[in-house]
Amino acid sequence: MLIKVDNLKKSFGKRTALNGVSFKVEAGQIYGLLGPNGAGKTTTIKILTGQRRADSGQALLFGEKVFGRQEELLKKVGIVPEDANLYERLTIEQNLTFFKRLYQCSDELIDFYLEKVNLIDEKKTKVKSLSKGMKQKVLLVRALIHKPEILILDEPTSGLDPASADSLHKILLDLKEDGITILLTSHNMEEVDKLCDRVGFLHQGELVASGRPVDLKLNYSDNRVKVLYYSNEAVEENLVKKTLQLDDPETGKFIAELIQNGRIKSIHSLEPTLADIFVKLTGRNLADDGF
Amino acid sequence: MMAFKRILAILIKEAQDIRSNSNLLVMYLMPILFTYIWENFIPDMPAGFGAAFGLIFLVVMVGMYVPSMLIAEEKEKNTIEVLMLSPARPVEIFVGKGLLTFITIIIISLIINIMVGLSFNIQLIIIIATALTSLFAIFVGMIVGMISPNQMSTGVVGLPIYLLLLLIPQLSGIGISGVDFIARFLPTYYYLNILELTLIDRVAISDLYIHFSIIAFSSFVIFALLLYIYRQKGLLD
Ligand SMILES: Nc1ncnc2c1ncn2[C@@H]1O[C@H](COP(=O)(O)OP(=O)(O)OP(=O)(O)O)[C@@H](O)[C@H]1O
Ligand SMILES: [Mg+2]
């Protein structure tokens, strides 16, 4: 178990940011922490990386408490923070070289990853003249050049165009192939569905559901199918759309009849998306956040 | 064990960064400018007085202002996170960040020495005194940077301290009771004293050991305070 969070609680004054959050990430897996603004994603990450102290509960990396042991443990961790904390007056290369020197690692991976994110030609550009998405990519490269075993990313695709987001996804999947353990937060349900082995839904400081995306979809599926059929003879005007409950005995009979009479146009199973499940659990729509 | 390589990494980064930070570069030029004006345009100035004025400005204003801004800016822009999450230890971060200011202060004090044409012996005393006092100022500046939430507020937090360290020593000895008393507790008072004794009275280095010890001791105490505040407060809010 490379990452373990156990009954984590944290308040800022009267405001509760985390109210007993627990989850685990196994070696080589990608775990996605999903939740709307203010759910407690960043707070969880900051506690995991020893930047904040929890009021109670445990946050372990490599099975050890990070707070107070940052120097040793975080050497093996790559972190992409929520906001671009780069030195604006320095170039991309100077930023990355500084980081490399702090970690005393080799610089072979700097160009390798700059190439991958398409920034190799901007190496000598000062960070202050980069776009938000370009900065986001520099952050990713910075998090990777010391060959971390755990990678923690706080909304890594915010600000990226679809093509760049795709190439980031590819990089993450490649890293997973190499056995790196990844924890990421996101507002983007599709991204998480595509990438993550397991996901956790965070809402108002509580993990309201967690598991493999497929299992979640099965658990929260309400067994409905959408049937498109002709109410009479097969002409366009007679086309009817109907949602049927699969566990209702009438449904089977009804569909069998339609099939016998050759009046079915299509049947779709109504599998919920992660977004549907989230709305169901919290009454809130993630898409409202504009991502 | 301090990792020399990481300290060097921070020093190089600061040097690359400050080149395009015009705010701070202007600060470095002011002591030279002040010395030049004082020495050349103010009539009836005792010889060496211009240098004393430039030097105390250099040590207090550059020595405190620059590190306070450097730390506050890192906090404001969250880049301090990079340092905190890295293998660099707090002592290394403070030393690395202070080193550039320290080196530049020494270089500028040499320029001032040369501008006013001082003898080697006097230069030596002045450099030692400047080095010790600037350590004190740099650590104070770092504390100011640490307790200020952002760059803007370093001014508010720092101003009373700058004035105290800069003005009280200059106002002492003209008969304001209280001022004389407070001055005894300020290393800048002993620094100014050394400058006057060497630049005007030309005393020998052996007469100044007590002064040096007091300044060195204050620097040590303030460094301990810096680490203590760091432990209590951290660099992240
Ligand atoms: N430094 C702080 N001081 C006071 N409250 C804070 C602080 N940091 C976070 N909070 C509060 O804790 C809660 C969780 O915040 P957090 O930043 O973890 O959310 P998040 O899930 O990362 O949101 P987002 O999607 O907007 O990044 C919020 O209610 C927030 O207001
Ligand atoms: Mg966040």
Average pLDDT on B115-139 reads: 92
Paired with A227 in beta bridges are A242, A267
Task: Provide the strand spans (E) within A131-205.
Answer: 150-154, 181-186, 198-203
Stated pTM of the model: 0.86
Cβ atoms < 10 Å from Cβ of B62:
24
Q: For A51, which of B9, B81, B87 is closest by C-beta distance?
A: B81
Check if A70 contacts B (Cβ < 8 Å): yes
pLDDT of the residue at A284: 67
Interval B195-222: pLDDT, tens: 988 888 888 888 899 999 999 999 999 9
Q: Which of B220, B70, B235, B189 is nearest to B141 (CA)?
A: B70
Continuous H helices in A35-158: 41-48, 70-73, 92-103, 108-116, 132-144
pLDDT band at B125; cut points 50, 70, 90: very high
pLDDT of the residue at A290: 42
| Distance of residue B137 Cα from the nearest chain A Cα, in angstroms | 25
Q: For B17, which of A74, A81, A89 is closest by C-beta distance?
A: A89
pLDDT greater than 60 at residue B1: no
CB A65 within 8 A of CB A53: no
Interval A64-109: pLDDT, tens: 988 778 888 999 999 999 999 999 999 999 999 999 999 999 989 9
**B192 vs B119, B183, B197, CA distance in Å?**
19, 11, 8
Cβ atoms < 10 Å from Cβ of B117:
11
**A252 vs A12, A266, A268, CA distance in Å?**
54, 15, 14
CB A243 within 8 A of CB A226: yes
Interval B75-100: pLDDT, tens: 999 999 899 899 888 889 999 999 99
**Atom number in ligand 1 closest to CA A36:** 25
Q: Which residues of A touch B5 (CB under 8 A)?
A: 101, 104
**B62 vs B33, B110, B161, CA distance in Å?**
13, 15, 13
Average pLDDT on A249-264 reads: 86
Q: Which residues of B touch A83 (CB under 8 A)?
A: 78
- Verify whether the Cβ–Cβ distance B17 to A103 is below 8 Å: no
Number of structural domains found in chain B: 1
Q: Which of A7, A15, A137, A13 is nearest to A84 (CA)?
A: A137
CB A70 within 8 A of CB A238: no
Average pLDDT of chain A?
A: 90
Q: Which residues of B touch A77 (CB under 8 A)?
A: 85
Q: For A102, which of B16, B21, B88 is closest by C-beta distance?
A: B88
CA distance B187 to B206: 18
- Verify whether the Cβ–Cβ distance B77 to A85 is below 8 Å: yes
Higher pLDDT, residue B2 or B151? B151
Average pLDDT on A21-50 reads: 94
Domain around B50 = 2-233
pLDDT of the residue at B97: 93
Paired with A203 in beta bridges are A206
Residue A105, phi then psi, degrees to nearest 5: -110, 175
DSSP A231: S
Q: For B16, which of A52, A77, A90 is closest by C-beta distance?
A: A90
Q: How far apart are the CA of B4 and the centre of ligand 1, in A?
A: 37
How many residues can be counted in chain A? 291
Instruction: Give the relative orientation of helices A132-144 and A92-103 as an angle to the nearest 10 degrees.
Output: 20
Average pLDDT on A148-171 reads: 92
- Verify whether the Cβ–Cβ distance A94 to B13 is below 8 Å: yes
Q: How far apart are the CA of A82 and the centre of ligand 2, in A?
A: 6
Atom 12, ligand 1: residue with shortest CA distance: A17
**B123 vs A53, A204, B39, CA distance in Å?**
50, 65, 17
Instruction: State the burial class of residue A235 (Cβ atoms within 10 Å of its Cβ: 0-12, 13-18, 19+).
Output: exposed
Q: Which residues of A touch B3 (CB under 8 A)?
A: 104
CA distance A210 to A124: 43
Q: Which of B208, B1, B192 is nearest to B91 (CA)?
A: B1
Nearest CA in chain B to A50: B85
Kindly state if the Cβ of A238 falls inside 6 Å of ligand 1.
Answer: no
Torsion sign over Cα B227, B231, B234, B237: negative
SS3 A266: strand
**Atom number in ligand 1 closest to CA A46:** 18
DSSP A76: G
